Amino acid sequence: MKILKEQIDRITLGVEGKRIFPQAPTIWFEPDGFVCSCGGKFRVIKTRRKRIATMEIGEFIAHEAVVCCQCCGSVRNSEQLLKLVSHRCKYGFNVIVFIGRLLFVECKNEREVQEQLRKRNINISIREIDYLGKKFIVFLALAHRESQGRIKNLLGSKGGYILHLDSTVEGDSPHLMTALDEIADLVLDNIKIPSEKAEHIIPFLKRIKKAFGSPIAVTRDMGSGIASAVADVLPGVPEFICHYHWLRDIGKDLFGADYEALRRGFKAQSIRTSLTNLARQLKTKIDNNPNLTASLDSYIAGNINGSPAEKLFPAVMAYTLVLWILDAKRDSRGHGFPFDQPYMSYYQRMEVVKETLGGLTPLVSTETSIVHLKKIIGRVLNDRTMQKVAAQMKEKISVFNRLRDAMRIALPDNRKSLNDDGDDVDIKTIEKGVYEFRHAKDLVALAASQMPYRKMFKQIDKHWEKLFADPITITTAHGTFLIQPQRTNNILERLFRDIKRRYRRKTGTHSLSKTLKAMLADTVFVRNLDKPEYMALLLNGKTSLEERFAEIEAKLSRPRDAQQQSNAERISTKLKKILLIPELPQKLLQKTKYRLAA
């Protein structure tokens, strides 16, 4: 049987639907059964033709017979057709699922989806693909919300849920806020809000609480709006502050102003532009001079082989040093400011280069390329304001790195960048390290004289309990356990980065302001589709998303059917005017030939 299937797959591989059906075939549909539930017989009242498309066949003509009960008058359509295609829609449920998966799981753009559907004998416009993609998200969100009771039971079987709450924004777009459970690793709900003010977050939290009950803990960032909303809706629930966000805010408060002054100094002096231009000029000079080219090649080869060349021309030395300064970004670890300080790295590399050039002989140091390099770095290193700012930053960065080491997260030599969840260290060990940092004599002395250090201590004292809260006790069918919530909110940060990366891949643009404005908030539910437990709850006994969506559509169509029935029973406008005639019964009697003789 397996061999036969493989043979069939090979035969059909690459075969386009239009080659199988050059013209759209006609398929007949009629309701199941001939007898109504009331015992009356059905009779065909009309037939209708509808052009639809499904993944199995492509485009075809559906010829449907609509029947009516001769006894009770109920109208019935083809149940089989209703399982294939949505109400008044040309494209089948499996086409909607196919488009949704390509757009949101495989990150294909609309033109790529259009090409894949064309090969399956389905002609569709870009606009329709975008519409059906959004319809996929709407159906998915409806299925999720219908499944909230079952999801709540799943969370309860795991001892409850730990709520991670955060939002992302791009430019002037609204904030996309997501609620995620750490234990089951499921997106629970999403919303778009104009800002992270508590007044916008409170209704969202109430909705989550109503659907899933109160969480056993909340992990959040340092936003005051989220903090106020959690305190209002979930009083008494243990709160855990993201160590990464907290540490980032500490660093920004500690030397953010100094770093901004350093950055402005570099911009005002056009240092990077000047170094880049010098590197370009020196490269041209080296490329046009065989001796300089040979010197550079010899230096490179010597370093690779472990025996640097002794003779290095000044122009080659200057060129190499300029490139080394510009390569200061290599000192960053991808954590972003304040963990990475690229402008401070530029400054420190310039200091090293200045010291190196100071060791050259007078003859070499007067060479044009060396003099030019000295002038550029001198504009920074001889500026007294920048000297003062750099000295202050060095001290503060040293203190900040001590706190990073105590917190065991985003360490200077760590290359996990934004995926850093912190070292796997007991929370009490971390608490002890931060306590020792907080009461170090040299830092206490600095705090006594300098405001930035006093603010740092204030932040440590204020959030101590939320940083180092005890593990939570949970009870499941398998027993009672202690669980320590994740130290960071990176589980959501990674989710948002993944969403942005996918949309950048689809759109080919870096800015996602317009994309976030247009996208449906519930698009984030797509993340749950690779979770088997979730899919079992979502499908609710159905075998596929197509069947589940058809079931949802059937429920949605009932109000439409009722509306259509009421429309059929609606009194015409002309008849309404007749009903307003005074003494209508008597006048009706006068108009009929069937009245009794006077």
Q: Is residue 420 scored above 80 in pLDDT? A: no
Which of the 8 DSSP states describes residue 238? -
Q: What would the pLDDT profile of 103-150 be if each residue is shown by its tens digit?
A: 999 889 899 999 999 988 899 999 999 999 999 999 999 999 999 999
* 43 vs 444: which has the higher pLDDT: 444
Q: What would the pLDDT profile of 58-113 be if each residue is shown by its tens digit?
A: 888 888 888 888 788 788 778 888 888 876 788 999 999 999 999 999 889 899 99
Calculate mean pLDDT across residues 425-448. Answer: 93
* Confidence at residue 190, expressed as pLDDT on a 0 to 100 scale: 95
* Confidence at residue 572, expressed as pLDDT on a 0 to 100 scale: 58
Which residue in 59, 50, 51, 54 sits closest to 18, CA to CA?
59
Distance CA 16, CA 120 (A): 5
Q: Report the percentage of the chain scoring pLDDT > 70.
A: 86
Q: Is residue 4 scored above 50 in pLDDT? A: no
* pLDDT class of 418 with cuts at 50, 70, 90: low
* Confidence at residue 3, expressed as pLDDT on a 0 to 100 scale: 40
* Confidence at residue 563, expressed as pLDDT on a 0 to 100 scale: 46
Q: Is residue 512 scored above 80 in pLDDT? A: no
For residues 100 and 513, the answer to whether their CB atoms sit within 8 Å is: no
Q: Is residue 254 scored above 50 in pLDDT? A: yes
Q: What would the pLDDT profile of 516-560 be if each residue is shown by its tens digit?
A: 888 889 999 999 999 999 999 999 999 999 999 999 988 876 544
* Confidence at residue 100, expressed as pLDDT on a 0 to 100 scale: 94
* pLDDT class of 23 with cuts at 50, 70, 90: confident
For residues 528 and 187, the answer to whether their CB atoms sit within 8 Å is: yes
* 517 vs 451: which has the higher pLDDT: 451
Dihedral sign (CA 525, 529, 531, 537): positive
Distance CA 77, CA 30 (A): 7
Q: Is residue 564 scored above 60 in pLDDT? A: no
pTM score: 0.78
Calculate mean pLDDT across residues 372-379. Answer: 94
Q: Is residue 304 scored above 70 in pLDDT? A: no
The rounded Cα 101 to chain-centroid distance in angstroms is: 16
Domain ranges of the chain: 2-133, 148-238+489-537, 245-468
For residues 214 and 234, the answer to whether their CB atoms sit within 8 Å is: yes
* Confidence at residue 305, expressed as pLDDT on a 0 to 100 scale: 58
* 281 vs 484: which has the higher pLDDT: 281
Q: Is residue 167 scored above 60 in pLDDT? A: yes
CATH architecture for residues 148-238+489-537 = 2-Layer Sandwich (3.30)
For 87-100, the three-class secondary structure string (H helix, E strand, C coil) is CCCCEEHHHHHHHH
* Confidence at residue 358, expressed as pLDDT on a 0 to 100 scale: 87
* pLDDT class of 589 with cuts at 50, 70, 90: low
Q: Is residue 569 scored above 50 in pLDDT? A: no
For residues 505 and 105, the answer to whether their CB atoms sit within 8 Å is: no
Reported in sequence order, the residue ranges of 209-252 that DSSP labels E, i.e. its strands, are 217-220, 239-241
Which residues does 346 contact at the CB level (< 8 Å), separation at least 6?
266, 271, 272, 325, 328
**How is residue 344 written in tokens?**
């401070």
* Confidence at residue 1, expressed as pLDDT on a 0 to 100 scale: 35
* pLDDT class of 435 with cuts at 50, 70, 90: very high
Q: What would the pLDDT profile of 180-239 be if each residue is shown by its tens digit?
A: 999 999 999 999 999 999 999 999 999 999 999 999 999 998 889 999 999 999 999 999
What is the average pLDDT value for the chain, to the nearest integer? 85
Q: What would the pLDDT profile of 286-301 be if each residue is shown by its tens digit?
A: 999 888 888 888 777 7
Q: Is residue 44 scored above 70 in pLDDT? A: yes
Which phi and psi (to 5°) does residue 179 adopt?
-110, 125
